[in-house]
Chains A and B, each alone.
Chain A
């Protein structure tokens, strides 16, 4: 473990010091879930990511922060190759998940996406019942009996911290839930197919503060079983829930390290300016 000087350059959000006591880990010493090497990304002729290289530690929460348009979302959208929905989007480089390059043409996309779940900025409940929303992915990937599916749905909703609120109304349309509930439904839906890595693309930007804190609590629990990559524009959120933080600026990864260190003693001037609110 790396010893870090506890000299706070800036006044960090008060939660930082208290919420995650203990040592500051060094990402390099932890097993990596995702290893990105020289990732470049293009929207048509316009380059959006430049030589991104990063190792996302397994079973940790990694926050991706940076000003709007810096490439945060673009970066994680490469991990499950969801960007390929759009013809002009193109990624170059290497993104290894558990040692396998997902950008290789031989990657089985359906398998990859079972392993890598994704939560979007706005909740995206499918136009069907709460039960069917969760069961959708289960039926997709498993040959399961009705009762097995029912169990899985219940389990996923419990792990998504939604079970108590919806247990009596599983057959109601998911669109009738509140925004925060919809987002937890989406998390439960992702969990139901047993992913190993969960990508969250600003999951709280469209929901209210109370619902946000529920989702943050949920992320706290998820980190025990999943590797989470959380894109957020909310620095307090990054400080609260993440173990590691990557700071993106104009398509470059400026700095990556333990969240505590990034928020108290960043090495880079740009990182410091951003987290102190001087720009962004």
Chain B
């Protein structure tokens, strides 16, 4: 047998490296650029009033986006409360109780479709089933649209995280004479806890930047959110409106809002990372 030449493999290795490194750099550079632009243009808008005051009429300086910040926070919270538990339960079903059943296969398939559905379609869907029958835009409709986006993400990550728990752990729980539900809640859930929390956090981070589903559901408002039954102010639709307005003060506020959302998503993502790290640290 002739030894195979190593020159060819070395060349292939070098070529791939030469292609990969710039690709990675481009990816990072674009992100850095976005962050830079958002910070430079938005930081001027960040004042105490930005967080506490209502928007001013067009052309008038001052005011803030306090109502939109609160509205986004409340709707995201409501969406999480609506969507995450259902996602968790469905994920448990997929991973623990009927992994190979027909329902599970069907649910898994539709979950993938739902994850790939453009968020504007979710917005129109909620518009058709909630906004039209009720007759006006509302915070509830917004929360429902966001919950619909959270649901498949949480479902997927829950199933994946539970599948990472070794079967031996299930077996040893069952072998002690524990019923399946107790093993799932008391042992498997605990073992997968950080992963599950991460999944929810990432889903929250994802929807907190969504605009399209809110355009058709919560719309926007210039007032403090009084009840979820009426159109509710939120940051993303505000960015959409303000960025396209001719007033420089509004445009600046749109940049400020962009900065705020970017930073929040970053914080949530880093938090999720931190949770994962904590888990690894403890397992070692």
Determine whether the beta carbon of B167 is less than 8 Å from that of A111: no
Determine whether the beta carbon of B191 is less than 8 Å from that of A117: no
Determine whether the beta carbon of A140 is less than 8 Å from that of B191: no
Interface assignment of A223: CB less than 8 Å from any CB of chain B: no
Within 8 A of B (CB), among A106-130: 109-114, 116-118, 120-122, 124, 126-128
Q: Which residues of A contact B100 (CB under 8 A)?
A: 87
Within 8 A of B (CB), among A12-70: none
The 7 A-B pairs at the shortest CB distance, nearest first, are namely: A113-B177, A118-B175, A124-B172, A114-B177, A137-B176, A127-B191, A127-B190
Determine whether the beta carbon of B190 is less than 8 Å from that of A82: no
Contacting chain A: which of B49-57, B80-88, B179-187?
A: B179-187
Determine whether the beta carbon of B177 is less than 8 Å from that of A186: no
Within 8 A of B (CB), among A146-195: 173, 175, 186, 189-190, 193
Interface size on B, residues (CB 8 A): 23
Determine whether the beta carbon of A117 is less than 8 Å from that of B171: no
Min CB gap B211→A, angstroms:
40
Determine whether the beta carbon of B187 is less than 8 Å from that of A117: no
Determine whether the beta carbon of B169 is less than 8 Å from that of A126: yes
Given contacts A126-B187, A127-B187, contact A111 B177 (CB under 8 A): yes
Determine whether the beta carbon of A124 is less than 8 Å from that of B176: no
Q: What CA separation (Å) do A186 and B172 show in the bound complex? A: 9
Determine whether the beta carbon of B282 is less than 8 Å from that of A110: no
Q: Which residues of A contact B171 (CB under 8 A)?
A: 82, 85, 118, 120, 124
Q: What CA separation (Å) do A141 and B174 show in the bound complex? A: 13
Interface assignment of B63: CB less than 8 Å from any CB of chain A: no
Interface assignment of B168: CB less than 8 Å from any CB of chain A: yes
Of chain B, the residue at the smallest CB distance from A192 is: B176
Q: Which residues of A contact B166 (CB under 8 A)?
A: 122, 124
Q: Which residues of B contact A175 (CB under 8 A)?
A: 282-283
Q: Which of A87, A111, A136 has the most CB of B within 10 A?
A: A136
B177's contact among A85, A124, A128, A137, by CB below 8 Å, is which? A137
Q: Which residues of A contact B170 (CB under 8 A)?
A: 85
Determine whether the beta carbon of A189 is less than 8 Å from that of B168: no
Given contacts A126-B187, A127-B187, A127-B190, contact A173 B177 (CB under 8 A): no
Which residues of B come within 8 Å of A, CB atoms?
A: 100, 166-179, 182, 186-187, 190-191, 193, 282-283
Q: What CA separation (Å) do A193 and B179 show in the bound complex? A: 15
Interface assignment of A74: CB less than 8 Å from any CB of chain B: no
B174's contact among A85, A111, A122, by CB below 8 Å, is which? A85
Given contacts A140-B182, A173-B282, A175-B282, contact A113 B169 (CB under 8 A): no
Q: What CA separation (Å) do A2 and B176 show in the bound complex? A: 38
Q: What CA separation (Å) do A189 and B169 show in the bound complex? A: 13
Of chain A, the residue at the smallest CB distance from B192 is: A127
Determine whether the beta carbon of B177 is less than 8 Å from that of A118: no
Determine whether the beta carbon of B174 is less than 8 Å from that of A82: yes
Beyond A82-B174, A113-B175, A116-B175, 18 extra complex contacts between A and B, CB < 8 Å: A80-B175, A85-B174, A110-B178, A114-B176, A117-B175, A121-B168, A122-B168, A124-B166, A124-B171, A124-B172, A126-B191, A127-B191, A136-B176, A136-B187, A137-B176, A173-B282, A175-B282, A190-B175
Determine whether the beta carbon of A136 is less than 8 Å from that of B186: yes
Q: Which residues of B contact A189 (CB under 8 A)?
A: 176
Q: What CA separation (Å) do A128 and B168 show in the bound complex? A: 16
Q: Which residues of B contact A114 (CB under 8 A)?
A: 176-177
Min CB gap A82→B, angstroms:
5
Q: Which residues of A contact B191 (CB under 8 A)?
A: 126-127
| A-B residue pairs in contact (CB < 8 Å), sample of 19 | A80-B175, A82-B171, A82-B175, A109-B177, A110-B178, A113-B174, A122-B166, A124-B169, A124-B172, A126-B169, A126-B187, A126-B190, A126-B191, A127-B193, A128-B190, A140-B176, A141-B177, A173-B282, A186-B172
Q: Which residues of A contact B178 (CB under 8 A)?
A: 110, 136-137, 140
Q: Which residues of B contact A128 (CB under 8 A)?
A: 190
